[in-house]
Structure 1
């Protein structure tokens, strides 16, 4: 997963990566040559008191050092540029993919997990890319080149390299091996913390209404403590790593000085050679440490890459047509259901079955039924929030699954059951329906939606601020603003999913009267719970257990549908039912 994700999103930046490799190579080779020159100064310059040689060699070392600095800075610059661009592209890829998901896929992953995958998980992989660009090239070159250069100085101490490097690699490898499973648990527990926190913030009114603050504090503390426990275990392993590295490096240095001192005393090694050998050994061990540091980051990045790939590789259940219909002719605002069926994957029984009815412009179709009857699922089939699993659903004579998505959505104005407003202003939310709408068109939609009065009283009017989710306005005001947003769009088909439930009876009646005139040339589908909201509809569809058990006008259904009559009796008095 990690390799495929890197290959997929790093492909556009091969040029930058080539520059990183080139400058890292030059800088690393320069760094490897410096200890050898230093040894020559000690053995050939200082020992022989050759000042000119010292100045010449020192000047060469200074030039090489400058080259190394310039190459390192350039490599880090292009490496950081590549890593940041990579992170940007992956986040954009996840976002675009999530936008293509149907409600089924979004519910499968969950909003908190999708947010974590697009932030924290991307950051982990991005960090691996950055560290790889700054270390991955230098580490192997330093390891191989350091061994060659150390053997050139003195082959008699080569056995120290054969001992120290495997000891360091095995020690850090054991720690890294234990980190992998912990990183997976850490990402899952970050998901859990985000989920609990999101629930508590969005549901703060319910929490306070039921005086459940202590319970929620305990619930968050439990999720937080679970994350802390894993983080502490990871932290302990990290803390163990650096003392182990320093211990091995210090013991290695002491061993070089000890055994090198004996060789100097025996006349088989010079002081400069020992100094250079010690420097090369430290460079080799540092490169091993850098390589293992990458291995330490890699397990967490691999876990994050797997979670990211799960999103990117998930295909939406709503598949765009290969050859979409981009225009319709003849019918406008006509919706037909023919033996339509919808079944969730793995479900024993369909949620909807044998759904057959049609709507037309200038007519209002209402859908009513008990909770769980399938009303919201039914109207979700029209804009393809879900795809029917059987039968046919057409708009203007074209199967919705074969219609161009933009064309379909331009024809449908949906007001969802839970109205959602975006952070911004009243105007920016209303222009979500039509970005080119004028202020007069916005006020007209607000007047029809019975929202003009309270918007006019808000500071700024159309420019009044709206917080995320519309939490700074009441539930009824959110519903009316959502209805106004749909009206600004001027679609051919209006779909109201229980969009009047938060309105009082008087406002509901005024709104429906205004809507009747505004939507005279459009088809209107209303999902309602209150009989008073749907009683004047041209046809009423009664759902029960996902099936149509009655269809007709209010008066017809009172006589022919026991289910509808039962709903009416439960809501209205005998006089209202007869009216």
Structure 2
């Protein structure tokens, strides 16, 4: 994408923005028509004032004066009504287009690979979908259409002035080159200032999002004062960027007023001299021209301001479209969506790296991984932190793509399945449970209308969570607040377990699902796990002995490689890596081998 600069306007970018206006053509057409109408009406009042001075006031025609006054009042009422409708329609147009664009951005972001979020701050994305989009809305309400209106007004007024007295008009326009030069300098300077403001807004949002989300860590380690100082520095940079932009305005507007005053002085000097030398010239033209000067310079001054509003909107548009143009979505070309999966899983010589830069040698976190899990079997992945356990689950869900090898379910490559269908059939319970600020019921169903209340209750009873949910105020309609702040870790884990159950997956993934709960809650979950694993393929990442012992296959991973495979007893007899891991982690709890 080409960049918006202070030297050139990116019309291709504007064309992309205007594409979102197509569903609202009627509103756009009416906005343009009202813009034309207002530009045509604007010069009428000054002309009426000049005419009234010459034909009624100087001639003592009281009746004509009253009639003209009534006419101007009627004209003012219509102009006010048209201006109201124009402002309403342009704002409606902008907000409607931005609503559609914001929906597209959010929909695009939710489909991006996890790799994108690994390297993109969440605060930056919030800035793109909120404040940057609002600057695009200003393109319609205060930018493009308003600029068209101002340009038309300048053209109409200048044409009328030349028609009325071309010599007087030239005298008025003598300082105009100075205004053009000042406007050009202002446009370049304010564009740079606007870019700095947008950068600092993104930095501010990123800092706030990260530190408010991690407030517990800050307080645990008493880092409030240090983080306050960091925020103060960011806030100072944001303040300074805004002050710089306002400083340019504080210089430009007085310069415009000075140039306008020069035009007014030249008008009075030349006009008075002309009238004195030629008494037949009516003084009303001077009055009309004085009003025209204000109407001429105000749009020119606002044109610079509105052009920069347009430019700021284009800066926002460039940032937003950069997100939309991000080609990091998981490729979804699969067409298969069978009525039911049996859950046979096959990994064959799989190599995977999070660094997918093909120009550099990738650092593989999984190396030549091969194993098979039959339908209804349970496989346990064990190993030290960083061994590749979670990576195995991530590539099964296609959150990341493998570089070599193949992964199949029921003998079909996972790429051949529809992506939504694949993930719907792989339910995952993570160690770090995420709950939305919503009811327990909505957190379980994720607002899926196909899941009934009775199904949720039945799943909760199987898990053993129905009792504690019923005791909460409102039961299943209790609001758990952001990230489940009002629930214990065990309760949140149980809710995530119910969430996995109600989707009736063919494959169940438990990623350290019981490591955050107390012994009593673990027993409740473990009883449910035993029932859930019946006739369902399960992949378990766990350090708890009870789950590992019952697995049909245990795979021991170390630094991305499979070191050993077998059942619990088989691996103990090997007296190898698993045996050492077992002795290290479990023998101290006094459980017999």
- Whether TM-score is above 0.5 comes out as yes
CA distance in 2: counterparts of 1:538 and 1:247, whole angstroms: 86
**Equivalent residue for 1:293, pick from 272, 291, 305:** 305
**Equivalent residue for 2:154, pick from 140, 143, 163:** 143
- Cα deviations across residues 534-561 of structure 1 (Å, max 9, x unaligned)? 2321111122222222221112223337
Match of 1:416 in 2: 430
- Where in structure 2 are the equivalents of 1:129-528 lying within 5 Å? 129-132=140-143, 135-267=146-278, 269-321=281-333, 324-327=335-338, 332-343=342-353, 344-346=355-357, 348-432=362-446, 435-528=449-542
Equivalent position SS for 1:501: coil
CA drift of 1:273 comes to 0.5
CA drift of 1:64 comes to 3.8
Match of 2:562 in 1: 548
The question of whether the paired residues in 2 share the 8 Å contact of 1:332 and 1:361 is answered with yes
| Shift in CA distance, 368/182, structure 1 to aligned 2, threshold 3 Å | farther
CA distance in 2: counterparts of 1:158 and 1:67, whole angstroms: 29
CA distance in 2: counterparts of 1:383 and 1:217, whole angstroms: 40
TM-score, structure 2 as length reference: 0.91
The question of whether the paired residues in 1 share the 8 Å contact of 2:330 and 2:399 is answered with yes
Number of aligned residues: 577
- Cα deviations across residues 138-184 of structure 1 (Å, max 9, x unaligned)? 11111111111112222222333433333223223322311222222
Match of 2:32 in 1: 21
CA drift of 1:514 comes to 2.3
Match of 2:5 in 1: none
The question of whether the paired residues in 1 share the 8 Å contact of 2:507 and 2:538 is answered with yes
**Equivalent residue for 2:581, pick from 550, 563, 567:** 567
CA distance in 2: counterparts of 1:351 and 1:408, whole angstroms: 23
Does residue 94 of structure 2 align to residue 80 of structure 1? no
CA drift of 1:70 comes to 3.3
Q: Which moved more, 1:527-536 or 1:171-180?
A: 527-536
CA distance in 2: counterparts of 1:134 and 1:7, whole angstroms: 12
Gaps of 5+ in 1: none
Equivalent position SS for 1:549: strand
The question of whether the paired residues in 2 share the 8 Å contact of 1:412 and 1:491 is answered with yes
- Cα deviations across residues 362-409 of structure 1 (Å, max 9, x unaligned)? 211111122122221210122222222322222233222221123223
Equivalent position SS for 2:350: strand
Q: Which moved more, 1:114-123 or 1:244-253?
A: 244-253
CA drift of 1:45 comes to 2.5
CA distance in 2: counterparts of 1:201 and 1:390, whole angstroms: 40
CA distance in 2: counterparts of 1:398 and 1:158, whole angstroms: 80
Q: Which moved more, 1:252-261 or 1:124-133?
A: 252-261
Equivalent position SS for 2:550: coil
CA distance in 1: counterparts of 2:268 and 2:251, whole angstroms: 26
The question of whether the paired residues in 1 share the 8 Å contact of 2:375 and 2:535 is answered with yes
Gaps of 5+ in 2: 1-11
CA distance in 1: counterparts of 2:502 and 2:72, whole angstroms: 73
CA distance in 1: counterparts of 2:36 and 2:447, whole angstroms: 55
Equivalent position SS for 1:424: coil
The question of whether the paired residues in 1 share the 8 Å contact of 2:381 and 2:555 is answered with yes
Equivalent position SS for 2:487: coil
The question of whether the paired residues in 1 share the 8 Å contact of 2:138 and 2:310 is answered with no
**Equivalent residue for 2:47, pick from 22, 36, 43:** 36
Q: Which moved more, 1:182-191 or 1:445-454?
A: 445-454
Equivalent position SS for 1:170: helix
CA distance in 2: counterparts of 1:575 and 1:21, whole angstroms: 78
The question of whether the paired residues in 2 share the 8 Å contact of 1:317 and 1:387 is answered with no
The question of whether the paired residues in 2 share the 8 Å contact of 1:433 and 1:485 is answered with no
| Shift in CA distance, 575/43, structure 1 to aligned 2, threshold 3 Å | closer
CA distance in 2: counterparts of 1:266 and 1:220, whole angstroms: 69
TM-score, structure 1 as length reference: 0.93
CA drift of 1:91 comes to 0.8
| Shift in CA distance, 125/439, structure 1 to aligned 2, threshold 3 Å | closer
The question of whether the paired residues in 2 share the 8 Å contact of 1:2 and 1:301 is answered with no
| Shift in CA distance, 123/29, structure 1 to aligned 2, threshold 3 Å | same
CA distance in 2: counterparts of 1:10 and 1:52, whole angstroms: 50
Match of 2:80 in 1: 69
CA drift of 1:124 comes to 0.8
CA RMSD of aligned residues (A): 2.4
